[in-house]
Every structure is written in structure tokens, then in C-alpha cells.
Amino acid sequence: MKIMTMPTRPFPGQKPGTSGLRKKVREFAQPGYLENFVQSIFDTLGDCRGKTLLLGGDGRYFNDKAIQTVLRMAAAAGYARVMVGRNGILSTPAASAVIRKRGLSGGIILSASHNPGGPDADFGIKYNLGNGGPASESFTEAVYRRTQEISEYRMLEARDINLGHIAETTLGEMAVSIFDPVADYAELLESLFDFEKISELFVRDGFRMRFDALHAVTGPYAKAILENRLGALEGTVINAVPLPDFGGGHPDPNPVYAAGLVAEVSSPGSMLSFGAASDGDGDRNMVIGPNFVVGPSDSLAVLAANHSLIPAYAGRLAGVARSMPTSRAVDRVAEELGIPCFETPTGWKFFGNLLDAGKATLCGEESSGAGSNHLREKDGIWAVLYWLNILASRGETVEQIVRGHWRRFGRHYYSRHDYEALDAAGAEMLFACLRDVLPSLPGKPVSKTKVRMADDFAYLDPIDGSRSERQGVRIMLDDGSRIVFRLSGTGTEGATLRIYLERYESDPECLAIPVQEALTPLIQLAGELARITEITGRTRPDVIS
Ligand code: VG1
Ligand code: CO
């Protein structure tokens, strides 16, 4: 088999965003597009000879083709071995677990996460380092620079490999190990939680739950862990077969896209006490009880406040970390525990250094992401097991646990409003105007309070000293309320404006106000300051979460 050197020309726009490069499938499927990006990763890494790479994806449309391409290119780059999840499928947290457990040099993960899949939908790719976590900004910047100057890529001339069976095979001189995607991951999770206690909950107490895998990657993992290992009834995991188009659904675990799950758990006479779902690549989670959806920021705070019930974390919480727009509910828990709380830009890559340095143990984002130092990605099934462990230990309902948390710490009313597929130039202008007015805002009266400070968040990484600018415009009010504006870095169509709204309330009489109502003055202020309707023509957000 020979290695071919193919001439190529740069494609514009191969700039990784919050979590890798995400584009429409038709863009990725252009001859040379994927190849250019993969070659740019290998060129940035330097000498790959003798190393072992992990390869897998969330199983979406184009995953199978892309896996064969990356394998041929890895062989040409001189990798000694590539480990591939069976059928080329691996959840993002499982990929992180395998890289760490087996000491691999890194991994290529093919995923567009919660974005829809199919020929007209999205695809994505990212590189994870030897610590199992997403590459840093400096690495992704270097890859981007390389994509702008690339003139050739290298590929082994070879047949497709059958990835359907667990086996060792070769591609030219490179070994290819096709392995069971579930085993390492399940073993890791079992080492963190009290599986005996959770299993008693299912088997002895007859606890019933639903896990909706949304036809995305977590089905086989959830079945193996919840049904086979923990003894939950067969049928606990629904939509468990990963499909290339996620069954036509949107693999985003929120009450809108997992509406069926919410309805089932909340239906009168339902035997279900708990519901959960995960996203396309298995790193996000949603947790619900009957007629009660746990907000992701609250969930993080509850996980931290209950860490002493979990074998892996009891007495071992060094610190917590959250992305800047995530509500500050967890900050209050950290304060009471006397541990630090770090505030990072959006995206899991910013937690990596804190986790590696042992500064943070639990991390989370408002976008349904939570995780810990057990790996270097957020982890959907981990969060579900953590909640199950809490439920098994406390014997209370999901709603009782969250309401009790609010009584103890106060409630951070929180919501995110998304304006999707905006004209990109208009969105840029909106931010330029917003940045212009920031200096004039302090002192401005807003309902019963006033603006305390307004800035554009910049992050100085306490471990490596790197600086990331322009990570979101923040407007803080005197009463502790806050509005954050940022542009999404994962969308594939125009620009998506995200507005994060937060208001703290400690009065025990005011803990049950409908969320949007509690946030009304902030919603109005956000609209005014950013001149949303005037600049974008939109009168309401597309998605409220
Ligand atoms: C979104 C979320 C962010 C998350 C990122 C990747 O990014 O807001 O919190 O880390 O998706 O998650 P953005 O830039 O669109 O706001 V996933 O599950 O899509 O890998
Ligand atoms: Co995801």
C-alpha cells in the first residue's frame, strides 16, 4: 500500500469554535475539506510516528466515511496504532476515559454534539489531548493557521476497514484496534458511585425512571449501566439505538426537544420518579422529576452541596469551577464549604488546566453540562448516576431536594434566551454598539436597583497564564442580578445571540415565582441595552431555556 501526497488548497473558515470545527455535512463532504483539517491537526502535532491515537464519533451521518478517511491519514502520518470504538462510535466522555486509562497520545472525536444530524444537518471534529480533554485555544488557533496555508495532505491508499467487530487488524503498517466502547467507561463510573445503594433503589425499592437517549450515542452505555449493571427494569432506557439522523430529532436534552420524556414522567398516574436524557455525543444531561425540571446551574450546585454522599468526592472536593454565564448558585455552596470557585469562559477546554492541577474537582456549565476530575469532558451519564446516588442516599424526591437547596442557599432565578440564525454582520454590529455603551452604564437605574459594573469578560488562566479576551459582555446590578451577552461558537448558520439572565432571591416567601416573571425587568433591560429588535428585527427569542 502506498502513501499518496495530494495537492490541496485552503478552505476559508476552518476555525474551531467553542468545541471543535462544526459545519454542515455538505461543507465537510467537499473533496479535501475534512482531509485539510485532519492534516492540519497532524501537522500541528508534529511527529506522530510510533504514537497511538483514539478515534470515534457520535455516530451521526458522515461519521462512518470520516472515520475511514481519518484512519488512512493517520496511517500516512505514521501513527503506530489507532484505537476505534466499534462501528466508529464513541461518546465524548467515553473517548476521554479511554485516552486517559490507556495513556494514548490523544484522540480525534467526530461530533456536532447537540446539533441535528443527517445529510442536510451538522457534522464536527475536534482533537483531544493526552489528558483526555479538548485541546487548548493556542492549539486550535495553530490548527486554524495551518488550514490557511495548507498545500497538500497525505493518505494511505487502502480499502475501507470493517469496524463492526471487536478485533485487531492493520492498515499498511499501522495497527487498528476495534474495541468495545462501553467497557472502560462503565468500569470508571462504577469506581465513583455507590452502585450497591443505587441498585437497591431499583431492585428493592422499586424505583422507576426513564432515560431518553434521543437516538444518540448514549443508548448502549445507559442500557449497560442502568439496566444490566444496576438492575433498572428493561425499557428504562428509551430511544436507545443510535441513528445517523437521531431519528429526525434534535439530540439536545432540554424540555423542548425531550418533551416526550417530560410528559411521560409528569403524566398523572405515572410510576416514574425520575427522568434523564443526554445529547448527541453523551456529554450533556437533563434531570427531571414529576412536574419539575432541574435547571443545569441548580443541578451543579446540588451536586456540589451533596458531594459527601458520593464515595469518590466525600472529603475530596478541592474546588469547583463554572463557566462565566452559568448561574452563581454553585458559588454559594463553595463559599459555605470553604473551597474556591473558579469562573472560566464558556467551553470545557477551559476546565482542563484546573482539573489537571487538582484545583477543581467538579465543573459545570449552564448548557446542561457537568463533570468532574474523573475525566476531561462533561459527562451526561455521570451526572445521572450522581443524581441517582443522591436520591438513593437521601430518600427524597428530586423536587424536594432542589427546593430544600433553595431554602438553604437562596434561589438563583436563571434563564437563557437564544436568538438563532441571525445575520452575522448584524450580530457583530449589535456587539459593537453594546461594547460602546458599557462605560456609560455604571450608575444607570434599573427598576429598584442600578448598574454596578459592565465589562467584557477576559480570563487569565491561573495555571498557564494564557489570556482569553472577549468572552462575553457582563452587566452586573447592585442587587446581585446579572445579564450576560455572548455569541455562540457552535452554530452552523449565521450567528446565534445568547442572553443569560440571573437574579438572586433569598426571601423564603419568594422562592416559587415563575422564572420568566422573576426575570422580567432584566429581560426588558437586555432588550433595551442591546437594541435587539432595532438591530436584528426580532421581537422574541427562538429558544428559552
Ligand atoms: C455551547 C454551550 C457551551 C458548551 C458548548 C459545547 O457553546 O453554550 O456551554 O460548552 O456548546 O457543548 P456555544 O458557544 O454555542 O454557546 V456540546 O455538548 O455542543 O459539545
Ligand atoms: Co455534547
- Find residue 109's DSSP bridge partners: 56, 126
The protein residue with its alpha carbon nearest to ligand 1, atom 18, reads 113
Residues 38 and 168 in one domain: yes
Q: Residue 166 C-alpha to ligand 1 middle, in angstroms?
A: 32
H helix or E strand, kind and range, residue 278 = strand 274-278
Side-chain-side CA neighbours of residue 291 (13 Å) = 5
pLDDT tier at 18, thresholds 50, 70, 90? confident
Q: Is residue 193 located within the same domain as residue 314?
A: yes
One domain, residues 404 and 444: no
> What is the number of domains present in the chain?
3
Atom 1 in ligand 1: residue holding the nearest Cα: 490
Which-ligand-closest: CA of 134?
1
**CB neighbours of 259 closer than 8 A, spacing ≥ 6?**
none
Tally of CA atoms within 13 A in the half-sphere of 516 that contains its CB: 6
Whether residues 455 and 524 share a domain: the answer is yes
Beta bridge pairs of residue 411: 505
CA 21 to CA 36: how far, in whole Å?
12
Distance from the alpha carbon of residue 543 to the mean position of ligand 1, in angstroms: 15
Give pairs for 177-180: CB < 8 Å, separation 24+: 177/81, 177/82, 177/83, 177/84, 178/84, 178/85, 178/86, 179/83, 179/84, 179/85, 179/86, 179/98, 180/86
Assess whether 226 and 342 both reside in one domain.
yes
**377 and 465: one domain?**
no
How remote is the CA of residue 170 from the centroid of ligand 1, in Å? 36
Atom of ligand 1 nearest to the CA of 378: 18
pLDDT for 25: 96
Nearest protein Cα to ligand 1, atom 19: 113
pLDDT above 90 (res 363) = yes
Q: Which tens digits make up the pLDDT trace of 491-545? A: 788 899 999 999 999 988 989 899 999 999 999 999 988 888 988 888 999 989 9
Length of the chain, in residues: 545
Q: What is the pLDDT of residues 115-146, one digit of tens each?
A: 999 999 999 999 999 999 999 989 999 999 99
Report whether 150 contacts 48 (CB < 8 A): no
Phi and psi torsions of 81, nearest 5°: -155, 145
**What is the reported pLDDT for 19?**
87
Question: What does the pLDDT read at residue 434?
Answer: 92
pLDDT of the residue at 221: 96
Regarding whether 224 and 169 lie in a shared domain, the answer is: no
Which member of 113, 297, 415, 488 is catalytic?
Answer: 113
Give which of 343, 320, 322, 358 is closest to 459, Cα–Cα: 343
Rounded distance from Cα 217 to ligand 1 centre (Å): 17
Residues 165, 198: one domain? no
Looking at all shown ligands, the one closest to residue 348's CA atom is: 1
Given 163, 181, 199, the domain boundary residue is: 181
In this structure, are 397 and 440 located in the same domain? no
Query: Residue 479's domain is classified under what CATH number?
Result: 3.30.310.50
Among 379, 409, 439, identify where a domain stops.
409
Ligand located closest to 420 CA: 1
Q: In this structure, what CATH number is given to the domain that contains residue 360? A: 3.40.120.10
Question: Is the confidence at residue 63, as pLDDT, over 90?
Answer: yes
Please name the residue ranges forming H helices in 359-469. Answer: 380-394, 398-409, 424-437
214-253 pLDDT, tens digit per residue, is 999 999 999 999 999 999 999 999 999 999 999 998 999 9
260 and 325 in a common domain? yes
State the average pLDDT over residues 91-112. 97
User: What does pTM read for this prediction?
Assistant: 0.94
The reply to whether 207 and 344 lie within a common domain is yes
Task: Report pLDDT for 536.
Answer: 86
The parent domain of residue 111 ranges over: 3-181
pLDDT given for residue 34 in this prediction = 98
| pLDDT value, residue 447 | 80
**Does the annotation mark 393 as catalytic?**
no
- Of 149, 181, 213, the residue that ends a domain is 181
Question: What does the pLDDT look like over 369-404, one tens digit per residue?
Answer: 999 999 999 999 999 999 999 999 999 999 999 999
What is the Å distance from ligand 1's center to 11 Cα? 24
The predicted pLDDT at position 210 comes to: 97
C-alpha 469/C-alpha 260 separation (Å) is: 40
Residues of the chain with pLDDT > 90, as a percent, come to 89
* Residue to probe by mutation, ligand 1, list 90, 344, 346, 543, most atoms within 8 Å of CB: 346
Q: Indicate whether 1 pLDDT > 80.
A: no
Ligand 1 surroundings by CB, under 6 angstroms: 18-19, 113-114, 279, 283-284, 323, 346-348, 365, 367, 369, 488-490, 498
One domain for residues 429 and 439: yes
The grid coordinates of residue 518 equal: 422573576
